[in-house]
């Protein structure tokens, strides 16, 4: 907890952990106003420590505000095949659950440089259901035996875009790449598991049948409750997750009720 000044008005920035593995809530920010650099540095430190942060109370944010705040974190990345909302390149309308968002994944890992982080703002929420689950790739990696950690360190995985890529007319080679199975976070230096059920087909040099059992074992670790945080959305929540060391999945229990969120991703670097 720290006293902050933003644009001349005192703000009380609060940070509260929401689970043992990852996740923290931030209160006391109004993102319709410019956040001063010191406050932003504190938010960023909370983000790097907790991997997922929820900034409460941002109902009043406009698409312009969301893009302006996102740009403070890095370069806004436009999705290679999912269109942006009209007039706001970089803001994607998420209305789910869908088969893609219900599966544990990190965003756009079929790209050579997947996004570093994602900002997701609640716009229309169902009365109940549609929680988002998050899992810590650090925790998963650290829970593995030294022998398996060593074996994974020698492997790369092949990532492909989903069928949406081909419906958008993209050539397969434009949405296929390989990444290390374990990556080192460029800012924290910690190692995190970096394979996910949406985009990975197999380990490089292995066939799909050989890869499947080990991949399934790793995905089972991702879903272990003690590695996760389950976010129950409130009006005005803005979630920011670290796409380099977490995965997420939506719980498909909205019963068809409307659920709309606005997503912005920030460009990342080559996983190593």
Interacting residues with ligand SIN (CB under 6 A): 94, 96, 101, 107, 132, 248, 250, 261, 263
Q: Among residues 42, 65, 79, 105, which one is catalytic?
A: 105
Nearer to ligand SIN, 105 or 191 (CB): 105
Nearer to ligand SIN, 198 or 211 (CB): 198
Nearer to ligand SIN, 96 or 142 (CB): 96
Contact status, residue 75 vs residue 223, Cβ threshold 8 Å: no
Q: CB 1: neighbour CB atoms within 10 A?
A: 9
Number of residue whose CB is nearest ligand SIN: 132
Q: What does the chain look like in DSSP terms, one character per residue?
A: -EEEEETTEEEEEEEEE-SSSS-EEEES--TTSPPPHHHHHHHHHHHHHHSEEEE---TT--HHHHHHHHHTTSPEEPPSSSPPBTTBTT-EEEE---HHHHS-B-TTTTSSS--SEEEEEEEE--SS---EEEEEHHHHHHHS-HHHHHHHHT-EEEEE--HHHHHTT--GGGGEEEEESEEE-TTT--EEE---TTTEEEETTS-HHHHHHHHHHHHHHHT-GGGEEEE---TT-EEEEETTTEEEEE---STT---EEEEEEE------
Nearer to ligand SIN, 101 or 135 (CB): 101
Q: Nearest CA to 21 among 181, 214, 247, 238?
A: 247
Residue 59: active-site member:
no
Instruction: Tell me the closest approach of the beta carbon of residue 136 to ligand SIN, in angstroms.
Output: 16
Nearer to ligand SIN, 203 or 219 (CB): 219
Q: How far apart are CA 182 and CA 159, in angstroms?
A: 14
Nearer to ligand SIN, 40 or 94 (CB): 94
Residue 253: active-site member:
no
Q: Among residues 42, 65, 79, 107, which one is catalytic?
A: 107
Residue 248: active-site member:
yes
Q: Nearest CA to 54 among 221, 216, 240, 214?
A: 240
Instruction: Tell me the closest approach of the beta carbon of residue 191 to ligand SIN, in angstroms.
Output: 23
Instruction: Tell me the closest approach of the beta carbon of residue 152 to ligand SIN, in angstroms.
Output: 24
Instruction: Tell me the closest approach of the beta carbon of residue 41 to ligand SIN, in angstroms.
Output: 26
Instruction: Tell me the closest approach of the beta carbon of residue 131 to ligand SIN, in angstroms.
Output: 8
Instruction: Tell me the closest approach of the beta carbon of residue 155 to ligand SIN, in angstroms.
Output: 25
Residue 93: active-site member:
no
Catalytic sites, residue numbers: 105, 107, 248, 263
């Amino acid at each position: 907890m720290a006293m902050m000044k933003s644009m001349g008005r005192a703000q009380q920035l609060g940070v509260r952990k929401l689970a043992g593995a990852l996740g923290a809530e931030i209160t006391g920010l109004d993102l319709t106003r410019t956040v001063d650099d010191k406050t932003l540095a504190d938010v960023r430190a909370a983000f790097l420590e907790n991997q997922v942060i929820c900034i409460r109370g941002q109902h009043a944010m406009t698409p312009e505000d969301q893009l302006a705040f996102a740009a403070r974190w890095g370069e806004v990345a436009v999705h290679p095949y999912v269109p942006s909302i009209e007039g706001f390149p970089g803001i994607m309308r998420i209305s789910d659950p869908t088969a893609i968002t219900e599966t544990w994944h990190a965003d756009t890992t079929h790209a050579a440089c997947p996004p570093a982080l994602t900002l997701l703002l609640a716009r229309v929420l169902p009365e109940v259901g549609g929680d988002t689950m998050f899992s810590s790739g650090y925790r998963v990696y650290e829970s593995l035996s030294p022998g398996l950690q060593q074996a994974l360190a020698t492997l790369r995985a092949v990532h492909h875009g989903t069928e949406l890529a081909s419906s958008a007319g993209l050539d397969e080679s434009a949405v296929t790449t390989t990444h290390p199975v374990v990556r080192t976070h460029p800012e924290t230096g910690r190692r995190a598991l970096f394979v996910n059920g949406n985009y990975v087909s197999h380990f490089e040099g292995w066939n799909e049948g050989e890869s499947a059992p080990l991949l399934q074992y790793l995905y089972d670790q991702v879903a272990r409750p003690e590695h996760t945080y389950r976010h129950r959305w409130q009006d005005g929540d803005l979630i920011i997750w670290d796409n380099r060391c977490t995965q997420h999945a939506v719980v498909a229990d909205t019963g068809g009720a409307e659920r709309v969120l606005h997503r912005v991703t920030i460009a990342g670097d080559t996983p190593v």
